[in-house]
Amino acid sequence: MKDPGVPIIAVVDDDESVRESLAGLAESVGYEAALFASAEEFLQSAPHRDSLACLILDVRLPGMSGVELYSQLPLSLRSVPTIFITAHAVPEIDTWATKPGVIAVLSKPFQPKVLLQAVREAIIQSRSLGVRPDFN
């Protein structure tokens, strides 16, 4: 049985190697990772809000983009702190970086310590919202 106090980081990226790399990074510092290959997969099987500390979204995904997913999150997930990641220059992403709940927009490749700092900020924000105050 998983420890209910361990923060869960959801990663939505169509590149399996990126998903696995981010999962390994999260797990290396004691977090749990939930991996999704598409926005649609995330929406169909995403954990409930009270189990997520952070959402890492690739901007460009097949089908629904990460930005579209963010704008269509169900009410229960709208306050999940979000980190956008992208390998492409997307002019409108700067406007998304200022949206409530967006912690950072990181360009691939990024330094692991930069991502981990953004994840830590997301967890702090989750705590400040009163969501899962038992996160370690």
Q: pLDDT tens, 21-53?
A: 999 999 999 999 999 999 999 988 866 666 788
CA–CA separation, 17 and 95 (whole Å) = 28
Q: Does a structural domain hold residue 45?
A: yes
Q: Does a structural domain hold residue 136?
A: no
CA–CA separation, 122 and 6 (whole Å) = 14
CA–CA separation, 13 and 30 (whole Å) = 21
Q: Does a structural domain hold residue 1?
A: no
- Total count of domains within the chain: 1
pTM of the predicted protein model:
0.87
